[in-house]
Amino acid sequence: MTPDDPYLPAPAEVIEVIEETPTIKTLRLSPITPLQFRAGQFVQLTVPGVGEAPFTPSSSPLEPERVDITILNTGTVTEQLHRASPGQMLGLRGPFGKGYPIETLAGKEVLIVGGGVGLAPLRALIQTLMADLERVKRVSIKYGARCMEELLYLDQQKQWADEDKVDVTTTIDRPQPGWGGRTGVVTTLLTDVDVDKSNCFCFVCGPGVMLKFTTQTLLGEGFEPEQIYLSMNRRMSCGMGHCGRCNIGPHYLCKDGPDINYALIKDYPDVF
Ligand SMILES: Cc1cc2nc3c(=O)[nH]c(=O)nc-3n(C[C@H](O)[C@H](O)[C@H](O)COP(=O)(O)OP(=O)(O)OC[C@H]3O[C@@H](n4cnc5c(N)ncnc54)[C@H](O)[C@@H]3O)c2cc1C
């Protein structure tokens, strides 16, 4: 979708609402024009009369006529989006940003680390990789949520794990009745992680504090800054590098990111 005026949202109809967890819903949208995007690019989603907010589609770019946006209810716009129902019209601007550097992943191991709703943008990456697993050597997915009820995409996690080249490990923060899996924050899944560190790229998405501690853990495990891509989901407004809300040094996260190589930003203050 490329409207002549990049500030003008194009109509998109809500065709399905999926209740993922008590705080997270996925809106399945049918944009008036199929949304051609790369995994990791983001859109500005408008609730008419309320406002707009940035989200990274959680669905596969291979299905541009049906776009999933997975949304944590956190404030004004997201609360209205949680009230959306099938048939409602929203607005969509974008896509913006660069998207994940899929081309660099040929023959590589890929370590994907998600925290909470951070698995949503990563799902577009995972689905892109799953569509052509020959391209990569292996995919390791490490995912953490606060509690069992907040775990996203459980059925798909099982499908991903069924692939020989893919392993999925999930943890919740604290033990809970009925949970037989790992406990502890997601960084606990990264110590002695079973990947070939010399041939691996890491993609991390989650809350700011999770990005910080995950980066520290990966560096401590011997990864180089150049091997780590972070989803820097800061406040963004225009999406085109004009308003100056989201830059780290010379890097505009809306244009050069939102997934950015840690080596490019590591020396700037207040990165996290
Ligand atoms: C590129 C990008 C991709 C994103 N993808 C997703 C996604 O796939 N799913 C999803 O649920 N969320 C995503 N987000 C975050 C989402 O944009 C915010 O949650 C949303 O803008 C909040 O709007 P609101 O009006 O509901 O909240 P507000 O009423 O504006 O704020 C509510 C609270 O959230 C905080 N907040 C608002 N925006 C941000 C932000 N960008 N970063 C940190 N804190 C914030 C505010 O400080 C406040 O505490 C993404 C953000 C960016 C920049």
Q: Return the ∠ at Cα 40 (arms to 58 and 44), rounded to 5°.
A: 75
- Expressed in angstroms and rounded, the spacing between residue 54 Cα and the centre of ligand 1 is 7
Closest to 121 in 3D by CA, of 152, 83, 162: 152
Which residues are within 8 A (CB) of 223 and not within 5 positions of it... i.e. 6 or more apart? 197, 200, 202
pLDDT in tens, 80-107: 999 999 999 999 999 999 999 999 999 9
What pLDDT is recorded for position 81? 98
- Expressed in angstroms and rounded, the spacing between residue 193 Cα and the centre of ligand 1 is 30
| Ligand 1 close to Cβ of residue 118 (< 6 A) | no
| Ligand 1 close to Cβ of residue 82 (< 6 A) | no
What pLDDT is recorded for position 3? 53
- Expressed in angstroms and rounded, the spacing between residue 51 Cα and the centre of ligand 1 is 12
Strands 67-72, 51-55: pairing kind: unpaired
Q: Which atom of ligand 1 is nearest to the CA of 58?
A: 8
Eight-class DSSP state of 190:
S
| Ligand 1 close to Cβ of residue 217 (< 6 A) | no
Assess contact for 95 and 38: CB atoms under 8 A. Answer: yes
Which residues of the chain fall below pLDDT 70? 1-3, 235
